[in-house]
Amino acid sequence: MIVTRFAPSPTGFLHIGGARTALFNWLFAKHHGGEFRLRIEDTDRKRSTQEAVDAIFAGMKWLGLNWDGDAVSQFERRDRHAEAARQLLDAGLAYHCYCTPEELTEMREKARAEGSARLYDGRWRDRDPADAPAGIAPVIRLKAPLTGETVIDDKIQGEVKVSNEQLDDMILLRADGTPTYMLAVVVDDHDMEITHVVRGDDHLTNTFRQAQLYQALGWDLPVFGHMPLLHGSDGAKLSKRHGALGVEAYRDMGILPEAMNNYLLRLGWSHGDDEIISRDQAIEWFDLDGVGKSAARFDMAKLESLNAHYIRHADNSHLVSLVLPDLKNALDGSLSDDTETRLLRGMPGLKDRAKTILELVENAKIYAYARPIPINDKAAKILDGEGRRMIEHTRPRLGDVTPWTQQEIEQMVRVVAEELGAKLGNIAQPLRAALTGSNVSPGIFEVMEVLGRDETLGRLEDALSGDV
């Protein structure tokens, strides 16, 4: 069975790039009928807080990426990591190193100056343990192969190799006895029976070292797939500095999780010319061979375009439930009692006109206002002189419209327009201004139907009386 995992470190939120990694792993597992696991890489105690872990859970949940079993805490497995290091020590495949930080810095500088890749010179590698200086706690280093090469058969990048002369003896266990990342990932991935490690490209060079570790431990390598990184609009790796946001920031911008999933999926993966891809379709189609090799830039405009599509196709009552809280917030006390029912009926006209839920809220205000409604500058201008005259002529005739439907209303207004020798637009625009307080809105006859006859006549009266 195929088992994948997502292993974020808790940094305060679910990073957008991490979300994509999680999605790919989730999809890959689902496609193959396998399992998807979650592991929190919280060994850096300074950075790990419960809030940060919760933020990851919340982000995953929002995206609908459920994981199998309980999330694993890497920190809680530190004894097992140390045990693996000791095992290597006993087998003579690792050794104690007593170098001080100062010595290491010196070595590093020297190596750089000489153009050498080996930053640690291996000075304790074959030294007699009896030479150990007193009072210095040693680290444990892997006795890595000095010659030959390490080859990775990467399912996304292809065959990648490096000469072992480039790799020095990495630290496995720190002086304080805690495991390093390299040790922890390898031990955890092995113990969690991860079969496929799909992660960002930035781990590609780490993989060589991890492969050496697997070898020393006598374990089989999982299958690796290194996906291209997500870049900011400036072309550099997405980071906090580059405006990389947590997934919840996009939720707050009014992005739907469906749109986010679809967008993230298409960043670095494709299935021919398909753009709009449902989750079921994604599960059916997703595989590693569809993943590209080059980095992709994040493009908000395309995300919004996808979002607009998902809003347009979303269930009306679902959209109402998303919009209502924000609307109450924005309008506070001046919310009409009829808001919810109006929203439900007006949603078809509203949802075609919004790229985000935030815009939807803004546009939905016309159905939430209690009389008298606010009139913006452009609408006020339309209501001057001629526009006002049109409403004066039209309003009385509205009482005769039966039934009160969009079609009947339009028919009546057309008759009035003809009588006045006016174009339909000459009446529609003033009606819009008076009824919505704006120069932009859904079809005005639809708005009238949703508002109902009483509210419509009332708002028109407000406009005529100047009581706005």
Which residues carry out catalysis?
A: 240
User: Where in 345-384 is the site for RNA (CB under 7 A)?
Assistant: 352-353
At closest approach, how far in Å is the CB of 425 from RNA?
A: 4
Q: Is 117 in the site for RNA (CB under 7 A)?
A: yes
At closest approach, how far in Å is the CB of 63 from RNA?
A: 18
At closest approach, how far in Å is the CB of 251 from RNA?
A: 20
The region of 60-68, 226-234, 325-333, 452-460 touching RNA under the rule CB under 7 A is 226-234
Contacts of 447 (CB under 8 A, 6+ apart): 346, 349, 366, 432, 435, 436, 441
User: Where in 26-55 is the site for RNA (CB under 7 A)?
Assistant: 41-44, 47
At closest approach, how far in Å is the CB of 103 from RNA?
A: 8
Q: Give the x-and-dash track for 164-203 against RNA (CB under 7 A).
A: --x----x--xxx-x-xxx-x----------------xxx
The region of 29-37, 56-64, 246-254, 441-449 touching RNA under the rule CB under 7 A is 441-449
The region of 85-93, 126-134, 216-224, 443-451 touching RNA under the rule CB under 7 A is 443-451
- Give, in order, the Cα–Cα distances in Å from 372 to each of 330, 336, 365, 369, 463: 17, 11, 13, 8, 9
Residue with tokens 């009552």: 317
Q: Give the x-and-dash track for 396-435 against RNA (CB under 7 A).
A: --------------x------------xxx--xx--x---
Strands (E) located in 190-324: 196-200, 223-227, 230-231, 296-297
Partnered with residue 348 across adjacent β-strands are none
- Give, in order, the Cα–Cα distances in Å from 216 to each of 6, 89, 91: 25, 11, 9
Residue 277: count other Cβ atoms within 10 Å of its Cβ.
20
User: Where in 133-162 is the site for RNA (CB under 7 A)?
Assistant: 139, 157-158, 160-162
> Are 446 and 404 contacting, i.e. CB atoms less than 8 angstroms apart?
no
Of 125, 190, 312, 393, the residue at the interface with RNA (CB under 7 A) is 312
Measure the CA–CA gap between 366 and 443, rounded to whole angstroms: 12
At closest approach, how far in Å is the CB of 444 from RNA?
A: 4
- Give, in order, the Cα–Cα distances in Å from 208 to each of 81, 158, 383, 454: 19, 14, 72, 74
Partnered with residue 163 across adjacent β-strands are 149
Measure the CA–CA gap between 403 and 409, rounded to whole angstroms: 9
Pairing of strands 139-142, 171-173: antiparallel
Of 101, 333, 403, 466, the residue at the interface with RNA (CB under 7 A) is 101
Amino acid at 173: L
Q: Is 440 in the site for RNA (CB under 7 A)?
A: yes
Q: Give the x-and-dash track for 252-291 against RNA (CB under 7 A).
A: --------------xxx-x-xx-x-------------xx-
Q: Which is nearer to RNA, 335 or 449 (CB)?
A: 449
Of 228, 246, 254, 437, the residue at the interface with RNA (CB under 7 A) is 228
Measure the CA–CA gap between 155 and 398, rounded to whole angstroms: 68
Q: Is 127 in the site for RNA (CB under 7 A)?
A: no
Q: Which is nearer to RNA, 61 or 423 (CB)?
A: 423
Comparing C-alpha atoms, which of 181, 144, 141, 136 is closest to residue 163? 144
Q: Which is nearer to RNA, 3 or 184 (CB)?
A: 184
Q: Give the x-and-dash track for 51-90 against RNA (CB under 7 A).
A: -----------------------x----------------
At closest approach, how far in Å is the CB of 337 from RNA?
A: 26
Query: How many of the chain's residues bind RNA (CB under 7 A)?
Result: 86
At closest approach, how far in Å is the CB of 333 from RNA?
A: 28
> Are 226 and 200 contacting, i.e. CB atoms less than 8 angstroms apart?
yes
Backbone angles phi, psi at 39, to 5 degrees: -135, 130
Q: Which is nearer to RNA, 303 or 335 (CB)?
A: 303
Comparing C-alpha atoms, which of 67, 50, 60 is closest to residue 10? 50
